[in-house]
Structure 1
Amino acid sequence: MSIALVALTIFAATALAIHLISIAVAIRQCRPDKRAIAAAPDSPPVSIVLPVCGLENYIEDTLRSAFRLDYPRYELIFCAARPDDPVVPLLHRLMSDHRWIDARLLIGDERISENPKLNNVFKGWREAAYPLISICDSNVLLPRDYIQRLLEKLDPGTGLVCSPPIGCRPDGFFAETECAMLNTYQARWQYLADFIGLGFAQGKTLFWRREQLESAGGIRALGAESAEDAACTKIVRNLGLRVRLMQPPVRQPLGFRKAADVWKRQRRWARLRRASFPFYFSLEIVSGGFPPTIALAATAVLAGIPVLPSLIVFLAVWYGAEWLLAAKAGWHHSRWAVATYMLRDLMLPVLYVNAWLGRGFEWRGNDMRAVEGARLS
């Protein structure tokens, strides 16, 4: 048996084993939880800072979910950069409809970094009344026990609680492809990292003890990285604490997506990951189904066994397990699911190479660059 045949066989078998392990972990961590966690009478008050910008798909549903939390004492601080932002009238209406909720809108653009989102959030962090603060994107649906589920993970060894977004309500094939990116790929790997103690922050939810971030330089310190969630991860690790993930994760209704929308968003995230965590990003080239499929085909050729039946069995196991994860977790999966998984895995090597070749990207009309954040590493 040749060395090449042994190496290819080991690689394909190892990749499949890790793939199945990650799916088993994600099923365990992300399974639907129908229980509603009740808030204790002495629950600590919480500030929720929500940056807003424009009218995104399902924005009224996502914003309204923040007003309907089953928690005794919390405040909502919405942050907009401009008074003429089209989301402002909607916010005024929602606040008028929920006058019993402590909610306010802050408008202004204070430049503390090159990151427009961080600049928008700064005023909300400064004005937050309580020592527990969640910075939460406005385009996710918050469960009624959102705060309780954050607090559930905030033990003494945890410096930050986050949640990756789970795509839902997709409209069209490319929106379903984004679900394949967000759900059974990115969220799966994040929950595996969380399981082994290497959790990474993601900006859909950043739940802090104010004193801990202030001890590391305050919210301005998040501007040390092109992506504020990468800075969060490094700050927490430098404090000797862990980033933990909320269970189950929050959902992001996607609506309609064009192919260009999905590509630009995934390219931006890939370039940011490459800039902030180059070592971890270097491993992503073998994280999808494309490399082990090629290795298995080469193995079959070298071993003199039929290639097509081998590939059919391998792909059925690989993508069947991924489909099972979506089903068990209650995530979106349609008749196009396997096709979107395959398209995503064909995109991954292209995104990987593209991330190493360039740094520029566009975010909400702003031209930005992914810059290595050595100041926090």
Structure 2
Amino acid sequence: MELTFIAASLSTALILSNAASISLAASRLKRRGTIAPPAGKSQPVSIVVPSRGVEAFTHETLERTFALDWPHYELIFCVAHADDPVVKLINRAIARFSKVPARLLIGDDRVSANPKLNNCVKGWEAARHSWVILADSNVLMPRDYVEHMMAAWRPDTGLVCSTPIGSRPEGFWADVECAFLNTLQARWQYAGEALGLGFAQGKSMLWNKPMLNANGGIRALAAEIAEDAAATKLVNGLGLRVNLVAAPFEQPLGQRTVGEIWSRQARWARLRRVTFPLFFAPELLTGAAVPLALALVAAASAGVSLWATAIAVLAAFYLPECALALSKGWHLSPRTVAAMIARDVMLPFIWARGWLGGAVDWRGNAMIIRTKAAELEETPSRA
């Protein structure tokens, strides 16, 4: 009887915390819509876009960067190597949209073990304006992209970010990636912001350049293996806040394989583990696996139908998730619930992988992700 009560209580607590996180996220999120330009004179903005390789939606995401409504902005595309196939696409776009100030910079500044940060350094240093957005090349920018970023800036803000919202999935495993990105990871990030725990997300980052330059510049983001983790700690250390845009931007997915999802999620898990271990530890409890197991233990002990218990727990988890996606205009399909179940089957294994060492793949780069302390211990002292 005691086992039944404990297991049922723990399962109920996790189900309620899941529902609470969805409610908190829903209170911070808005459905995608246009936003009015700021009153008065708009500030000029530099948009730095680190690029590598050609993906399914590269043509579209690239062209979107040249079609923004913001009256004064420049584009700085950064590519590490001149033989990258994306170079030709960028040069063609610059020539085609010649009215938009745009440049392509090629080179690799090895300031960290993070290839994306290394690729951004030259763009940051070349940016002419005081407001700089670091934007991944696979972000599908709406015309009012800059308006949304600037509207989230407050007097106590140190950084504005947007999580990626997966869209246009093709096939079941792309639906699984949507289930990871949207109603799990974005949801918890917005719930954290509602509780005053804003975390940076590297997909779109709006910085005040003089502020960051006064605190080490972009090279200060090499303090951690992930630039968004370093950004979070830097901003918090200044007593400022990380704010998220109210309507996050899309990342079109296309086709995905289970291997691609595993590689990406395992890398992110390892990054979260080494940069924010206290927040990573309870991630095992965010999916349905643990509350479902506890509920089944309680049901077996009490002689209640296991099938009925499983259906009730899964409905309590996934129906609110679907409602969140529906209310915000995010992707939903007949495969969505099955994709959420597949995601939550993978979660414990991804969580366990986050605690292990070894190399992970980062867009073709085999990387050993360590804590900064471990890196320092392995670095020989110099006289």
Q: For residues 118 and 313 of structure 2, what CA distance do their matches in structure 1 show?
A: 48
Instruction: State the secondary structure of the residue aligned to 1:47.
Output: strand
Q: For residues 136 and 5 of structure 2, what CA distance do their matches in structure 1 show?
A: 47
Matched, 1:158 2:127: no
Indicate the RMSD between aligned Cα atoms, in angstroms: 1.4
Instruction: State the secondary structure of the residue aligned to 1:357.
Output: coil
Q: For residues 369 and 358 of structure 2, what CA distance do their matches in structure 1 show?
A: 5
* Larger displacement relative to structure 2 (80-89 or 186-195): 80-89
Cα deviation for residue 291 of structure 1 reads 0.3
Q: For residues 68 and 336 of structure 1, what CA distance do their matches in structure 2 show?
A: 34
Partner of 2:380: none
Partner of 1:245: 244
Partner of 1:356: 355
Partner of 1:172: 171
Q: For residues 41 and 240 of structure 1, what CA distance do their matches in structure 2 show?
A: 29
Partner of 2:17: 18
* Larger displacement relative to structure 2 (29-38 or 261-270): 29-38
Deviations 1:161-203 (CA, angstroms, capped at 9, x unpaired): 1111011111111111111110111000000011111011111
Instruction: State the secondary structure of the residue aligned to 1:133.
Output: strand
* 1:177-326 equivalences in 2 (<5 Å): 177-326=176-325
C-alpha spacing 1:152/1:359, structure 2 compared with 1 (3 Å): farther
Q: For residues 371 and 116 of structure 1, what CA distance do their matches in structure 2 show?
A: 15
Matched, 1:32 2:48: no
Q: Given the two structures, how large is their TM-score scaled by the length of structure 2?
A: 0.95
Cα deviation for residue 373 of structure 1 reads 3.1
Gaps of 5+ in 1: none
Partner of 1:57: 56
Instruction: State the secondary structure of the residue aligned to 1:109.
Output: coil
Instruction: Tell me the amino acid that sits aligned with residue 123 of structure 2.
Output: G
Moved over 4 A (4+): none
Gaps of 5+ in 2: 375-383
* Larger displacement relative to structure 2 (63-72 or 296-305): 296-305
Aligned-residue sequence identity (percent) comes to 46
Partner of 2:129: 130
Q: For residues 85 and 228 of structure 2, what CA distance do their matches in structure 1 show?
A: 26
Partner of 1:149: 148
Cα deviation for residue 306 of structure 1 reads 2.1
Instruction: State the secondary structure of the residue aligned to 1:63.
Output: helix
Instruction: State the secondary structure of the residue aligned to 2:355.
Output: helix
Deviations 1:192-230 (CA, angstroms, capped at 9, x unpaired): 011111011111011111122222211111112111111
Whether the 8 Å contact between 1:31 and 1:330 is mirrored in structure 2 is: no
Cα deviation for residue 264 of structure 1 reads 0.4
Instruction: Tell me the amino acid that sits aligned with residue 344 of structure 2.
Output: D
Instruction: State the secondary structure of the residue aligned to 1:49.
Output: strand
Q: For residues 198 and 258 of structure 2, what CA distance do their matches in structure 1 show?
A: 30
Instruction: Tell me the amino acid that sits aligned with residue 95 of structure 2.
Output: S
Instruction: Tell me the amino acid that sits aligned with residue 142 of structure 2.
Output: P
Q: For residues 347 and 166 of structure 1, what CA distance do their matches in structure 2 show?
A: 20
Partner of 1:84: 83
Q: Given the two structures, how large is their TM-score scaled by the length of structure 1?
A: 0.96
Instruction: Tell me the amino acid that sits aligned with residue 92 of structure 1.
Output: N
Cα deviation for residue 359 of structure 1 reads 4.1
Q: For residues 34 and 152 of structure 2, what CA distance do their matches in structure 1 show?
A: 16
Instruction: State the secondary structure of the residue aligned to 2:47.
Output: strand
Q: For residues 300 and 156 of structure 2, what CA distance do their matches in structure 1 show?
A: 51
Instruction: Tell me the amino acid that sits aligned with residue 231 of structure 1.
Output: A
Cα deviation for residue 374 of structure 1 reads 4.8
Instruction: State the secondary structure of the residue aligned to 1:203.
Output: coil
Partner of 2:45: 46
Cα deviation for residue 145 of structure 1 reads 1.2
Instruction: State the secondary structure of the residue aligned to 2:175.
Output: helix
The number of residues matched between the two structures is 374
Q: For residues 100 and 335 of structure 2, what CA distance do their matches in structure 1 show?
A: 41
Q: For residues 111 and 16 of structure 1, what CA distance do their matches in structure 2 show?
A: 45
* Larger displacement relative to structure 2 (112-121 or 20-29): 20-29
Instruction: State the secondary structure of the residue aligned to 1:142.
Output: coil
